[in-house]
Amino acid sequence: MDDRPHLFDLTPQTLGELIADWGMPAFRAKQVLEWVYQQGVTDPQLMTNLGKADRQTLAQNLCLVRGRVLGHQLATDGTQKMLIDWSLPPDPPVSPVSPESPQNQPDTHSLNVLGDSASQTECVMIPADESKPRRTACISSQIGCAVGCKFCASGLGGLDGNLTAGQIIQQAWQLGQLKGVDRISHIVFMGMGEPLANFNEVTRAIQTLTAPWGLGISARRITVSTVGLPSQIRKLAEIDIPITLAVSLHAPNDELRRQLIPWAKSVTIDQLIDAGRDYFKKTGREVTLEYILLGGVNDQPEHAHELAHIAKRLRSNINLIRYNEVAALPFNRPADPSVRQFQHVLQTAGVNCHIRASRGRDIAAACGQLRHEHRSV
């Protein structure tokens, strides 16, 4: 593992301190950050307003990009997914203006490159339709997941570790460098891992993602999704950044939720509602309830009536998500009529709910699927 400081872990202050230690003028920190975040350049030799000696010093002492992209797939709907192995050295840096650079060209065959699945995470770029410039980065916060949701591929191998703030930020940055992506406009922490179980690194990453010198993304366009850690939800409300909180509910009662989500054995829905109320009171931000519809399991009208009762106990809206099948798991995608009926029950009860469009199904874009398929090769 490269033990040099990781550029995406640094702030203007911490980078400035390092640069001063290396004998370079302090203003170089601003220049380097502009090259990386604004221009997409990660090769010091291409930073033309730096002297030759300074470019060499940076190359020797600073790690600008970590990990190697093992897989990069492009779906028919424009969704793009990358599998990153953090234990491998990166490919040689390339100029972002090169149309043939590896980072700009999907390679559906590169999954034949073997790495260590215990060091791999996924990230996904989800485009809106052609009439909208929205480009959403779905990023991971951990390697694997300890929550172990019965329907999710992310936790099939358990938790292998936390990502650093720099690794979290780098995912969003790399997705923004993909061909056809002018810039990332939205970020969702809905990839691998439980974000609030890696609280310090996730919140540090958010600060850089929203900083004018970083990716400059509006905090209101960042969503942190959690299976539900009440104390961490309240702690998140204290960081004073107006992000959106999404709670992965997935069941309308504690009995069923405990069957689907092992962590729910220690956290009740009532506790989550109380934490959600506190979050709204502190931030003024409505809470999103995420609900994956599993065919024949939690998608019946009686479940919708129970969910409506929960949603009306706090300021919330509901995202309904059709399940994306995972070969190793015994769950099915719900039929469209049952999804529409479920939404109708909620709307009739006065609940604001939406059915999230399924994206990237032909490239295993659901959380943890690509890593699971790769480790099964």
**What is the set of active-site residues?**
122, 367
Q: Could you tell me where the DSSP H helices lie in the chain?
A: 12-21, 28-33, 52-61, 165-176, 199-210, 230-237, 254-260, 269-283, 301-311, 336-348, 369-375
Closest CA to 125 of 144, 142, 106: 106
Measured CA to CA, the distance from residue 224 to residue 357 in angstroms comes to 19
Q: Please state, in angstroms and as integers, the Cα–Cα distance from residue 128 to each residue in 122, 194, 221, 288, following that order.
A: 20, 25, 14, 20
Instruction: Provide the CA 369 distance to its chain's centre, in angstroms.
Output: 14
Number of CB atoms found within 10 A of residue 218's CB: 13
**Which is it for the CA torsion 187, 191, 192, 195, positive or negative?**
positive
Q: Are strands 287-293 and 316-322 parallel, antiparallel or unpaired?
A: parallel
* Integer Rg of the chain from CA: 21
Residue of 183, 214, 225, 178 lying closest to 79 (CA atoms) = 178
Q: Phi/psi of residue 21, each to 5°?
A: -65, -30
User: Strand 159-162 vs strand 186-189: parallel, antiparallel, or unpaired?
Assistant: unpaired
CA angle centred on 288, ends 283 and 292, rounded to 5° = 160
